[in-house]
Amino acid sequence: MADILKIGLSGLLAQQRALTATSNNVANAATPGYSRQRVELIERPGERFGSGFIGAGVDTLAVRRITDDLLAAQARSAAANFERSAAFSGLAAALDNLLADENTGLHATLQAFRNAVQDVANDPASISSRQVLLSEARNVAARFRSISDRLDQVEREIAGKLRAATAEITSLGQGIAELNREIVKHGASSSPPPDLLDQRDRLLGDLAKLVNVETVPQQDGSVSVFIGSGQVLVLGASAATLSVVPSAFDPTQPEIVVQGPSGSAAITQFLTGGEIGGMLDFRREMLEPARAGIGRVAIGLAAAVNAEHRNGMDLTGALGGDLLSVAAPRTFPAATNGGSGTLAATIGDIGALEPASYRVVYDGSTYRMFREDTGAEVPLTGTGTALDPFRGDGLELVVGGAPAAGAPFLGRPCDAAAGSLQVLVTNPAKIAAAAPIRTAAAPGNVGDGAISAGEVVDVGDPNLLATATIEFLDATTYSIDGAGSFAYVPGEDIVVHGARVRITGAPVAGDRFVIEANQGGVGDNRNALAIAAALGGGLLDGGTASLEAAVGRVVTDVGALTAEARNRADAQQLLRDQAAQNLEAVRGVNLDEEAANMLRYQQLYQAAAQTIAVSETLFATLMAAIGR
């Protein structure tokens, strides 16, 4: 009878705990991240009875939460991938709208500027046409600056989000470390409380939304947490601290570092996945290339217009100067550089200029240049002096000082260009629409020789505007200003005082041709036509791409990446939802199942209670028999 009572009591307590766990499941059916719980029962060791054993009841082994660590890891990975894609796609869509929009894009503005140049060429004496040209030039510059300001704003938004996300990662890491401590403490004498494990999983899920997460379970019940591509965040009960600091090269570029006992270490390049990974990938794959691409167009625009404008003459008879200005390439020494090394960069060849950033490193004996996006080394020629600079990818680099071995420099030739574009000419009369020289055949010429209008090849020649006379000594030779004897080849270039002309036909002895300043040439449109031709001609990519084609390439690249990012985000959302459903199917509460369990445990509880009642009846019968 004592055995029956003991067995009944054990069953009563076991089913009571089972009912409690089931009730808790029902109460938390809608709790996010809750894992359903089950009471694990185990048969008590049997008691020897004669030659065999008889059962002794049931014990409650533990209350286990029902989950799947593999599915949980897959769900975190899918969430990290989705958040990365969603962050990237959102930022990409905003950039695509900025560059492709008809009201804010560059295509229409560049075309309007080119049309205004052509209008001046059609009527070079018109002050109103010149005023329209200056207005369109200011519009172009303003549009470049506006786009640059918007890109800067996006950069600042990313920096702010990185700071917030980094602070949240630190907070989540500390929370996971504290839960590790509690779990280890409780697990020393029994199984860890399921609610603590659920809390830790929720924190890990929140962490996965920010960055890739890898966990390694430890024997004591704690988990080690690694983020990105293996950076330690949590080890046992200790958590690392992350912060955002200015980049070692560019103070405007934030960099994520992890704080350790021996100092801080930059980990930006190792962080992948999640919202942080999406922002970093967008900045590297879209924002920086777009900024450089637009900047390269601004540099090409200024170079093309200025080169031709300097070769012209304005309405006052003065030679033209620069019409536009743009910032020089930016270079940054690393904050950790030793020595006194310096690096200055200029644009040497617009056609060879690439929309890229570069790292220039002094290895102790020579300088080497590498592209930041691909890591490919760029061959350099020259010696790096002012008279013989290093040359590579259209850049000219002048080095100085005494750098320490391994000292790196960062070069961004195009980044500041769009935001710095300015119009230097304010007086419409100062637009150099005319060519500074003109040519004429002497009235008394006998032969049928003809001279071209002439073009400037060296505007810096001090005698450019001085009158020069080409006189034929005979049908095959000529002199210049009465000096020298040069062989005549019809159509061959003749360069005089920085001007180039061509003579064709069959001049005879005594025929003369004059090159002189184009004074009073208010109706001359040759330089305006040259500017218009330069704007429409091949300037970039080795002379194969016009400015508008280069803008189109940037817009097309951004649009293609945006569409790809949107499709990838949609696909990752499906994978995330599927992974979450798979995990929920294992750990989620099924109310129908719990109702069935509650009924079953209730019946078992009642049966155990009945066992106790039978034990009581038997005991009473026994006592009554003894009493008689």
Q: 369-425 pLDDT, tens per residue?
A: 999 988 999 999 999 999 999 999 999 999 998 888 888 899 999 999 999 999 999
CA distances from 39 to 13, 16, 20, 216, 230 (A): 11, 10, 9, 26, 37
Query: How is residue 566 written in tokens?
Result: 């949107």
Identity of the residue numbered 443:
P
Cβ atoms of 254 and 279 within 8 Å: the answer is no
**Cα first-last separation, the chain:** 20
Q: What is the largest CA-CA distance in the chain?
A: 165
Residues 35 and 178 in one domain: no
Q: Does the global pTM surpass 0.85?
A: yes
Whether residues 479 and 617 share a domain: the answer is no
Tell me: do 89 and 231 sit in the same domain.
Answer: yes
The radius of gyration of the chain from alpha carbons, rounded to an integer in Å, stands at 41
Report how many helices (DSSP H) and strands (DSSP E) the chain contains, helices first: 11, 30
Residue 251 to residues 254, 333, 342, 598: CA-CA distances in angstroms?
A: 7, 11, 18, 63
On whether residue 427 sits in a domain, the answer given is no
Alpha helical stretches, state H, 362-488: 417-420
Does residue 57 sit in helix, strand or coil?
coil
User: H/E element holding 75?
Assistant: helix 69-100
Does any domain span residue 413? no
Q: What is the pLDDT of residue 190?
A: 64
CB 400 within 8 A of CB 341: yes
Cα gap 179→195, rounded to integer Å: 10
Looking at the structure, tell me whether residues 75 and 157 fall in a common domain: yes
Residue 347 in any domain: the answer is: no
Residue 350 lies inside a defined structural domain of this protein: no
Q: Are residues 470 and 567 in the same domain?
A: no
529 lies in a domain? Answer: no
Q: Tokens standing for 490?
A: 């019809």
The DSSP bridge partners found for residue 339 are 403
DSSP H or E stretch at residue 347: strand 342-347
Task: Decide which of 476, 501, 517 is a domain's last residue.
Answer: 517
The whole-angstrom separation of Cα 135 and Cα 606 is: 93
Please name which of 335, 151, 338 lies closest in space to residue 255, comparing C-alpha atoms. 335
Closest residue by Cα to residue 83 from 224, 240, 272, 226: 272
Enter the tokens of residue 200. 């830790």
Per-residue model confidence (pLDDT) at position 75? 95
Q: Are residues 199 and 270 in the same domain?
A: yes
Q: How many domains does the chain have?
A: 3
Collapsed DSSP state (helix, strand, coil) of residue 469: strand
Whether 43 contacts 58, CB under 8 Å: yes
**DSSP H or E stretch at residue 103:** none
**Which 8-state DSSP code applies to residue 268?**
G
Q: Do 512 and 445 have their domain in common?
A: yes
pLDDT of residue 440: 95
pLDDT tens sequence across 132-153: 999 999 999 999 999 999 999 9
| 103 and 191 part of one domain | yes
How many angstroms separate the Cα of 3 from the Cα of each of 100, 210, 251, 603? 85, 58, 79, 21
CB-CB contact of 421 with 326 (8 Å): yes
The span from the CA of 310 to the CA of 328, in Å, is 19
Angle made by CA atoms 380, 385, 387, in degrees to the nearest 5: 105
Assess whether 602 and 485 both reside in one domain: no
Tell me, yes or no, whether 199 lies in a domain: yes
Residue 415's nearest CA partner among 264, 280, 249, 595 is 249
Report yes or no on 197 lying in a domain.
yes
Residue 22 DSSP SS3: helix
Q: What is the reported pLDDT for 260?
A: 67
pLDDT at 628: 58
Are residues 115 and 161 part of one domain? Answer: yes
In a domain, 140, yes or no: yes
For residues 171 and 242, state if they share a domain.
Answer: yes
What distance in Å separates the CA atoms of residue 295 and residue 326, rounded to the nearest whole number? 9
Q: Which helix (H) or strand (E) holds 281?
A: helix 274-282
Q: Give the model's pLDDT for residue 1.
A: 45
- Which residue stretches of the chain have pLDDT < 70? 1-2, 104, 187-190, 260-262, 628
Question: In which region does residue 221 sit, left (phi positive, over 0), alpha (psi from -120 to 50) or beta (all else)?
Answer: left
The reply to whether 51 and 143 lie within a common domain is no
Q: Print the domain residue range for 490.
A: 437-517
